[in-house]
Structure 1
Amino acid sequence: MSTRVERDGDGPPGSLALALRLGGIVLIAAVTLVPVLVTGPVVALARGGEAARRHAWSRLTTLLTRLGPAFVKAGQVLGTRRDVLPAAMCDELATLRDAVAPLPAWRAREVLAEVYGDEVDTLFAEVDYAAVASGSIAGVHRARLASGREVALKLRRPGIERVMRLDLHLVRRVAGLVAGLPPLRGVPVVEVVDAMCAAVLGQLDFDREAASLARLRAELAVVPRVWVPRVVPEACRPRCIAMEFIPDLDVDAAARCSPAARRKFAASGLTAIYEMLFVNGFVHCDLHPGNLYFTESAQVVVLDAGFSVQLSERLRLLFADFFLNMAIGDGDKCAAIVVESSAEVRPDADLPGFLDRMADLVRRSHKLSAREFSLMAFATEMFDLQRRHGIHAASELIFPLLSLLVIEPTIRELDPQADFQELARPVLMKGRFSSR
């Protein structure tokens, strides 16, 4: 994953900046987590050890939210690593939301002037400086080009890169220290954190995201009813992406549509993910409801390609083979593929035990009806088996699995009867056996 971005600051963070930020983190962590020493035992006595652990992980998500955008995004990515982290912890990390107040209109005006310089008055006929959407990295503004064309401007927050680099630098240092602790020996702490940092920093690279959007638009053109906004290259800058403006996006639009339309939405959304995973190997990993919309004209709209990854050809084929064999219930083959695609098999790994239990999981899942089958339940059990038997998944493989887990609740809400395995079959055949 590329992490090349235009710098908002002057080089790497200095020692003083690191020390001050570290002191702030320690203070916030103490205020947030120390009370758990009192409330944790109370919860354990009243509701049991599992409830106490969930209470502790809940306070962890509160801490990450208070620490800021780098930690929120890091927590979101780490929450996918169910092969090395407890499931209850991952469940809590999955609740992290990237909700930040937009820049004031006067500040957005200043930032756009900084980004476009003298061109701002000639390139744009009109700009709405009140954001129509906002996250920790960027806000989105509606604008009209001098040509009359309406565009959406994804404008990066000023100074956000320096803040995130500073925080992630500290995260890497801490990871290097804790990796040597006895409870974490054998766990690929540094590798997991490095992959997480790369994923977070990749979302700052707007040149890369613009290219990713253009690529997704081209590759998903074969999926009926899927709409990826067109990038407007002449109005893009390293800190701002200009794209086609899609009006009237509403997270509740699907609820107003007929059951038949909702089933079409579900099929199109799943087919789009499968096309990314099995055919092209280029995957949008963050299709939560803020990035995936459904329109009353029966379109599925895909936005925000900042968190996209390219699978190697080897892992694309292994991923496709896994799902193909899962669709026919070949548990032994699926188990072997998981081991083949892993980043590491620990010296003390129980390989025979893992192969037996993984094969059994696939066979049990194959017998479930569409309503009973849950990707989340399947992935949680698979990752738990990997963690307990010493099989560490490749970081590259975690992100495409994340794309499926993120979209599953939306698909289930649209069509409770959606058959994830059956809908995958034609795309699997295309991706596995046709020439690319």
Structure 2
Amino acid sequence: MTVIERVRIGRGGSGRGGTGSGGPAARAAQDLLRVARLFAVTGRVAGPAVGAAVRHRVAGRRQEAARTLYHAAPVLLARLGATFIKAGQVLATRRDILPPALCDQLGTLHDDVPATSAAHTARMLREAYGDDLHVLFPHVELTPVAAGSIACVHRAVDQQGRTVALKIRRPNIDRLMARDLRLMRRGAALAARLPAFAGLPVTEIVGQMCDAVAGQVDFRAEADSLHRLRHNLSGVARVWVPAVRQELCRDTVIAMEFIEDLDGDARSVAPVMRKKFAESALISIYHMLFVDGFVHCDMHPGNLNFTPRGQVVVLDAGFSVQLTDRLRRLFAEFFMNMAVGRGTRCAEIVVESATGLSPTADVDGFLERMADLVRRNHGLPAKEFSLMGFATEMFDLQRNHGVHAAPELIFPLLSLLVIEGTIRELHPGIDFQETAKPVINRGLWSAQRPGTGRN
């Protein structure tokens, strides 16, 4: 079961100036009020869990204490609101720095929130389009077809008679999230000074998370990302990214083609079709990773849908990462060497791509154990190979030996891990390593395609 957010997004005020108006003194007062509310909610939700965890620790049940806290984490984040839900979703991918059991719990965080009221939706549309609203859209359904913590999606008809999807940002959500992210950064800066966090890149980790969350409120950037993904994946069979109607987009609205009959669960279709879905979804991720280097990093099941005509539909590109050409090639080389069992070279690539080493790093030990990990997994039958298990062990080795992974590689890799379960359900026998080989070859040896945005 997923954790359900029951927080009313507009709690900070529904007026234009409800979350960020006034000078520095007013903003400081608002920050203090927000901190007080966050602490109050944290005390009510986390207090019982912390008490139970302490009792487990006193009794010598360390694992039970950890499980108690991990179970409480997504409940707390859901109660704290949209910014913290998004932050938890990003942190759920950081298996390179967080315990896998905690990441599993954070992975249950999904947007499932009450829809924006019709009055608020109408107001946001008027603010976005002004007097042109009814000219551009003769018909808009104020009841959304989907509701998330940042935006709701509405069906509309444009002046050419085309059915379009309007992703409309919730009122004031940008200001509320900007304030929460500012407080998170300040909290991280204070935490980094504490002895308990000595030697840990707390501010860097929180900064990366905040950047990822902030990007999901920038609708102009997301529209551009969707357009790029549509172009980049146009040659991948059975993959469909909705076309963006750039002339109809605004700062708070993304307009795109409306795709009918989307289904997030393809398990009910014929086995042959399920296999095609799995292959197309996997190849699309590989194409992002190895060929274009522009990667959709939020490929959870809600953003990966299917149509009765056999297409895989990729949605919501607000959390995307552009790899440098060097990192893209290293990524491709790593997977190629893993597929042929060259463990030593795989280990060397991880070190080459690392952002740094801890003062006590054991590089030789890491190289030896990483090479062994690749050798143990090479040649396993497809049904026995687990990409998640492989990555989790690799991250453990990096943490234990002081090799700091580059976040530019971690986020894209974990986009693949996120959909491994979905792909396995559709096609249990799919071979992740063999499927990757032809795409890796294109990425390593083909000429750079114009317009991909690589650097």
Q: Which category describes the TM-score, using the shorter chain as reference length?
A: over 0.9
Change (3 A) 1:183 1:46: closer
Provide the C-alpha distance between the structure 2 equivalents of 1:370 and 1:32, rounded to a whole number of angstroms. Answer: 43
Alignment of 1:52-63 (within 5 A): 52-63=65-76
| Matched AA of 2:249 | C
Q: Hey, what does 1:367 align to over in structure 2?
A: 379
- Match of 2:138, SS? strand
Q: Deviations over 1:393-424 (max 9, x none)?
A: 11111110121011111101100111110100
Mapped pair 1:197 → 2:210: yes
**C-alpha contact 1:232 1:244 (8 A) present in aligned 2:** yes
Q: Deviations over 1:211-236 (max 9, x none)?
A: 11111111101101111111111211
Match of 1:129 among 136, 142, 154: 142
Mapped pair 1:217 → 2:230: yes
Q: Hey, what does 1:242 align to over in structure 2?
A: 255
Q: Hey, what does 1:310 align to over in structure 2?
A: 322
Alignment of 1:43-192 (within 5 A): 48-192=61-205
Deviates more, 1:285-294 or 1:9-18: 9-18
Provide the C-alpha distance between the structure 2 equivalents of 1:267 and 1:164, rounded to a whole number of angstroms. Answer: 37
Match of 1:25 among 31, 38, 43: 38
**C-alpha contact 1:87 1:384 (8 A) present in aligned 2:** no
Match of 1:341 among 335, 353, 361: 353
Higher relative contact order (CA 8 A, sep 6+): 1
**C-alpha contact 2:144 2:152 (8 A) present in aligned 1:** yes
Mapped pair 1:259 → 2:271: yes
- Match of 1:242, SS? strand
**C-alpha contact 1:54 1:92 (8 A) present in aligned 2:** no
Deviates more, 1:420-429 or 1:387-396: 387-396
Match of 2:303 among 291, 298, 319: 291
Q: Hey, what does 1:358 align to over in structure 2?
A: 370
Flag as ranges the 4+ runs of structure 1 deviating above 3 A.
7-13, 41-48
Give the drift of 1:249. Answer: 1.0
Provide the C-alpha distance between the structure 1 equivalents of 2:401 and 2:281, rounded to a whole number of angstroms. Answer: 34
Q: Give the length in aligned residue pairs.
A: 429
Give the drift of 1:41. Answer: 4.7
Q: Hey, what does 1:388 align to over in structure 2?
A: 400
- Match of 1:155, SS? strand
**C-alpha contact 2:50 2:69 (8 A) present in aligned 1:** no
Q: Hey, what does 2:290 align to over in structure 1?
A: 278
Provide the C-alpha distance between the structure 1 equivalents of 2:379 and 2:193, rounded to a whole number of angstroms. Answer: 43
Provide the C-alpha distance between the structure 2 equivalents of 1:380 and 1:49, rounded to a whole number of angstroms. Answer: 21
| Matched AA of 1:399 | F
- Match of 2:382, SS? coil
Deviates more, 1:206-215 or 1:43-52: 43-52
Deviates more, 1:77-86 or 1:293-302: 77-86
Give the drift of 1:9. Answer: 4.5
Mapped pair 1:321 → 2:330: no
Identity fraction in percent: 56
- Match of 1:35, SS? helix
**C-alpha contact 2:267 2:425 (8 A) present in aligned 1:** no
Provide the C-alpha distance between the structure 2 equivalents of 1:278 and 1:14, rounded to a whole number of angstroms. Answer: 45
- Match of 2:267, SS? helix
Give the drift of 1:40. Answer: 2.0
Give the drift of 1:362. Answer: 0.9
Change (3 A) 1:228 1:281: same
Provide the C-alpha distance between the structure 2 equivalents of 1:220 and 1:411, rounded to a whole number of angstroms. Answer: 18
Mapped pair 1:398 → 2:398: no
Q: Which runs of 5+ in 1 are unaligned?
A: 1-6
Q: Which runs of 5+ in 2 are unaligned?
A: 1-16, 449-455
The TM-score with structure 1 as length reference comes to 0.95
**C-alpha contact 1:206 1:241 (8 A) present in aligned 2:** yes
- Match of 2:351, SS? helix
Give the drift of 1:38. Answer: 3.0
Give the drift of 1:43. Answer: 5.1
Provide the C-alpha distance between the structure 1 equivalents of 2:108 and 2:354, rounded to a whole number of angstroms. Answer: 27
| Matched AA of 2:105 | E
**C-alpha contact 1:84 1:392 (8 A) present in aligned 2:** no
Deviates more, 1:35-44 or 1:351-360: 35-44
Deviates more, 1:141-150 or 1:360-369: 360-369
**C-alpha contact 1:76 1:94 (8 A) present in aligned 2:** yes
Q: Hey, what does 1:16 align to over in structure 2?
A: 29
Give the drift of 1:45. Answer: 8.3
| Matched AA of 2:274 | R
Mapped pair 1:414 → 2:426: yes
**C-alpha contact 1:284 1:403 (8 A) present in aligned 2:** yes
The TM-score with structure 2 as length reference comes to 0.91
| Matched AA of 1:327 | A
Provide the C-alpha distance between the structure 1 equivalents of 2:267 and 2:97, rounded to a whole number of angstroms. Answer: 37
Provide the C-alpha distance between the structure 2 equivalents of 1:23 and 1:41, rounded to a whole number of angstroms. Answer: 24
- Match of 1:71, SS? helix
**C-alpha contact 1:345 1:390 (8 A) present in aligned 2:** yes
Give the drift of 1:69. Answer: 1.0
Give the drift of 1:42. Answer: 5.2
**C-alpha contact 2:261 2:308 (8 A) present in aligned 1:** no
